[in-house]
């Protein structure tokens, strides 16, 4: 299996060295990070894939505590897939709710853009909010 240095992982994931160390310290990784003979961290392709998943989880608003719980379940191995599925479904519902909320916000903003565009085009923008 190919071993990757921390710098290679930062390039592939977009995470800083500090963030990688933080993820490790906080128990957010699916497997313990291995060390080479000199004590330097070495990562695998699986680690990179997991970290990319974690960045998506975070970008979607998943709390670190939930990522930590999910990672712990993965580290425990087979037998807890229903609990993992439950965590993912809960977050899936949260993301869906957030998307619906954002779609509503976008609709309002789009209407406002149309109004402003019309007023700017007609030269009546100074009449807005009178």
Q: What is the mean pLDDT of the chain?
A: 95
| Across 88-105, average pLDDT | 98
Q: Residue 35 is encoded by which pair of tokens?
A: 């060390």
Q: What is the structure's pLDDT at 108?
A: 98
Quick: pLDDT tens for 12-48: 999 999 999 999 999 999 999 999 999 999 999 999 9
The model's pTM is 0.84
Nearest to 33 by CA among 23, 25, 43: 43
Task: Report pLDDT for 129.
Answer: 80
Q: Is 13 exposed, middle or buried (0-12, 13-18, 19+ CB in 10 A)?
A: buried
Closest by alpha carbon to 70, among 59, 52, 57? Answer: 57
SS3 15: coil
Q: Which residues contact 20 (CB under 8 A, 6 or more apart)?
A: 6, 9, 10, 13, 41, 51
Question: Nearest 10 degrees: CA dihedral of 21, 27, 28, 31?
Answer: 90
The reported pLDDT for the residue numbered 130 is 75
Q: Domain 1-77 falls in which CATH fold? A: Multidrug-efflux Transporter Regulator; Chain: A; Domain 2 (1.10.1660)
Q: What is the dihedral of CA 79, 27, 9, 77, to 10 degrees?
A: -10
- Flag whether pLDDT at 113 surpasses 80: yes
Res 128 pLDDT > 90: no
């Amino acid at each position: 299996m190919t071993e990757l240095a921390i710098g290679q992982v930062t390039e592939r994931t977009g995470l800083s060295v500090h963030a990688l160390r933080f993820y490790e310290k906080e128990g957010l990784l699916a497997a313990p990070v291995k060390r080479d003979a000199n004590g330097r961290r070495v990562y695998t392709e699986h680690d990179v894939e997991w970290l990319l998943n974690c960045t998506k989880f975070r970008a979607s608003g998943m709390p670190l505590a939930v990522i930590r719980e999910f990672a712990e379940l993965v580290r425990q191995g087979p037998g807890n897939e229903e609990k993992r599925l439950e965590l993912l479904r809960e977050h899936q519902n949260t993301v869906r709710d957030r998307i619906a909320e954002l779609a509503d916000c976008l609709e309002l903003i789009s209407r406002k853009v149309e109004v402003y565009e019309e007023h700017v085009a007609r030269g009546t923008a100074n009449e807005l909010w009178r």
